[in-house]
């Protein structure tokens, strides 16, 4: 399962559109030929949710919105009950005692 902080709903719309087109055309190769890219880019985007680095290929795949990664500072601004478990675990493992 993809990390929801990396794959946003903006990525799901082009992915679902390509899945429908894949079912209509019958193969990744035909879908890639219709889009003008290599079939590996199509397969990796649909199956593994990997976004190509090249902006020209992203545009051909219909990906116009690339979300910015979430920073640790943005996560720390959330209330403690809404913070991801990984952040809380790291904070607990690396805590230091306050000196008064």
pLDDT interval class at 12 (50, 70, 90): confident
Task: Determine which helix (DSSP H) or strand (DSSP E) holds 76, and give its type and residue range.
Answer: helix 72-76
Please answer whether residues 61 and 14 qualify as being in contact, where contact means their C-beta atoms are separated by less than 8 angstroms: yes
Question: Model pTM greater than 0.75?
Answer: no
Task: Determine which helix (DSSP H) or strand (DSSP E) holds 38, and give its type and residue range.
Answer: none
Mean local confidence (pLDDT), 40-50? 93
d(CA 8, CA 12): 7
CB atoms within 10 A of CB 87: 14
Please answer whether residues 72 and 87 qualify as being in contact, where contact means their C-beta atoms are separated by less than 8 angstroms: yes
Residue 97 lies in a domain: no
Instruction: Report the pLDDT value the prediction gives residue 18, as an integer from 0 to 100.
Output: 93
Collapsing DSSP to helix, strand or coil, 74 comes out as: helix
Please give the residue range of the domain that contains residue 32.
9-61
Residue 89 lies in a domain: no
Total domains present in the chain: 1
Task: Determine which helix (DSSP H) or strand (DSSP E) holds 83, and give its type and residue range.
Answer: none
Residue 66 lies in a domain: no
Residue 39 lies in a domain: yes
Residue 23 lies in a domain: yes
Collapsing DSSP to helix, strand or coil, 48 comes out as: coil
């Amino acid at each position: 399962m993809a990390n929801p902080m990396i794959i946003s709903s903006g990525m799901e719309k082009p992915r679902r559109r390509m899945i429908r087109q894949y079912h209509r055309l019958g193969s990744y190769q035909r879908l890639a030929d219709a889009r003008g890219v290599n079939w590996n880019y199509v397969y990796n985007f649909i199956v593994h949710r990997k976004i190509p680095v090249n902006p020209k290929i992203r545009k051909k795949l219909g990906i116009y919105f690339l979300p910015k990664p979430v920073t640790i500072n943005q996560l720390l601004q959330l209330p403690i009950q809404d913070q991801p478990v990984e952040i809380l675990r790291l904070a607990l493992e690396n805590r230091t005692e306050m000196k008064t």
